[in-house]
């Protein structure tokens, strides 16, 4: 593991360097670390932190030290022969060299990342897509600490239809502040000989081909810019709520409209019902039951109804709620205000 410690592959002779680059240890000022330990830090998850790796190494090193100590004491018996003074043989065990701190492990991991930086950059910049989505958030920039705190206001990501991130930047503002990012993205497609994307989903500036989002990607003249369905639902819900005369009923049309935007494909939904039966999770008595929302999310993918079908469904929903009243006979929706909002 850590070179020079119990549990490692053994001390390497001075000047000997393995021919295979994957087997070469990572050297620091006083210690060196085996590549096997570094590979354990690559899959960082919620329960796989550097601290947990440090505790695991401590346990492994202590077990190895105890095994070597037991072997050391067993070897001492061979020197207890007639005529030998037992006082000259020491029974004191050699101390176990402590495992380096988690901070040192992070330093080693950072050096390993820097050694393959060009390869990592090549993999990241080799991702493309025909359907892109651009979104900005402030949640990431609020977590910046130290010297980087307060240096950025927005974190903008551009992803493709497979959920892969093409580019991610930190900026002081949206709009024209994202122009260098858009230029680099267009140049990447051009240098790689990839076809320009066909569709771009954004959270604003989507209502015309001459909007800001379309202007930033000026080299892609065939690019269609549309509003993301999630942001559409977030805009429609508060507008619907403002036209409600009773606050307790404000969530009813909003929640119904949210459910109308997405649907489960019929073929995938049938597959979600048959999958538990094939695994033996359903009996004959429960095989006709409908799959739960979690089962649908596991086997299916959401898709939208489309612009025309969504418009018709929302129109039917508004017409259905327009004439409804509460227990006091008061209309749930202000008809004049709702019609003006829907027309806009």
Q: Where in the chain is the domain with CATH 3.30.420?
A: 123-142+152-227
Residues 210-235: pLDDT tens digits? 567 888 888 998 888 888 877 777 77
Q: What does each of the 344 residues of the chain score in pLDDT, given as a tens digit?
A: 454 443 443 334 434 444 455 567 888 777 888 888 888 887 766 667 888 888 988 999 999 999 988 888 888 777 766 766 666 666 678 888 888 888 888 888 888 888 888 888 888 888 899 999 998 888 888 888 788 787 888 889 999 988 899 998 888 877 778 889 999 999 999 999 999 999 999 887 776 555 678 888 889 988 888 888 777 777 776 666 666 665 544 445 555 555 555 555 555 555 555 555 555 544 444 445 677 777 777 767 667 777 788 888 888 888 887 777 777 777 777 778 878 877 77
Q: Residue 278 has which token pair?
A: 């094939």
Here the tokens at position 219 are: 């080299």
In sequence order, the 6+-apart residues with CB closer than 8 A to the CB of 9 are 1, 3, 34
From the list 161, 296, 321, 187, the residue with the least C-alpha distance to 241 is: 321
The string of pLDDT tens digits covering residues 122-164 is: 888 888 999 999 988 888 888 887 887 878 888 899 999 888 9
What's the CATH number for 123-142+152-227? Answer: 3.30.420
Question: What's the rounded Cα separation, in Å, for the pair 167 and 284?
Answer: 50
- In the sheet that holds 224-227, the strands lie side by side as 165-171, 154-159, 131-137, 199-202, 224-227
Please give the Cα distance from 232 to 237 (Å, whole number): 9
Q: 330 vs 251, 317, 318, 333, 334, CA distance in Å?
A: 17, 18, 16, 9, 10
Which of 203, 262, 275, 194 minimizes the C-alpha distance to 232? 203
Q: pTM to 2 decimals? A: 0.54
Residue 278 Cα to chain centre, angstroms: 31
Q: Are 216 and 132 in contact (CB under 8 A)?
A: no
């Amino acid at each position: 593991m850590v070179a020079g410690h119990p549990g490692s592959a053994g001390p390497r002779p001075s000047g000997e360097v393995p021919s295979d680059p994957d087997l070469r240890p990572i050297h620091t000022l006083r210690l060196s670390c085996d590549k096997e330990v570094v590979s354990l830090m690559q899959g960082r998850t919620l329960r796989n932190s550097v601290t947990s790796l440090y505790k695991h190494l401590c346990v492994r090193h202590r077990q190895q030290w105890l095994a070597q100590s037991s072997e050391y004491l067993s070897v001492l018996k061979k020197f207890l022969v007639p005529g030998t003074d037992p006082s000259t043989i020491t029974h004191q065990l050699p101390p176990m060299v402590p495992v380096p701190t988690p901070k040192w492990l992070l330093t080693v991991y950072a050096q390993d990342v820097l050694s393959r930086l060009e390869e990592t950059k090549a993999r990241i910049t080799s991702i493309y897509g025909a359907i892109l989505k651009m979104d900005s958030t402030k949640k990431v920039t609020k977590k910046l600490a130290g010297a980087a705190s307060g240096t950025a206001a927005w974190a903008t990501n551009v992803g493709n239809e497979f959920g892969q991130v093409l580019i991610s930047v930190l900026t002081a503002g949206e709009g024209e502040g994202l122009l260098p990012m858009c230029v680099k993205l267009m140049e990447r497609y051009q240098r790689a000989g990839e076809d320009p994307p066909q569709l771009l989903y954004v959270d604003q500036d989507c209502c015309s081909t001459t909007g800001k989002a379309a202007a930033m990607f000026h080299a892609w003249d065939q690019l269609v810019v549309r509003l993301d369905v999630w942001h559409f639902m977030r805009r429609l819900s508060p507008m619907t709520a403002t036209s409600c005369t009773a606050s307790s009923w404000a969530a009813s049309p909003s929640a119904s409209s949210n459910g109308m935007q997405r649907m489960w494909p019929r073929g995938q939904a049938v597959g979600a019902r048959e999958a538990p039966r094939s695994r033996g999770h359903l009996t004959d008595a429960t095989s006709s039951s409908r799959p739960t929302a979690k089962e649908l999310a596991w086997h299916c993918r959401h898709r939208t109804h489309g612009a025309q079908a969504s418009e018709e469904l929302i129109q039917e929903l508004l017409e259905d709620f327009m004439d409804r009243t509460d227990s006091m006979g008061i209309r749930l929706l202000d008809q004049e205000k709702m019609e003006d909002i829907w027309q806009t």
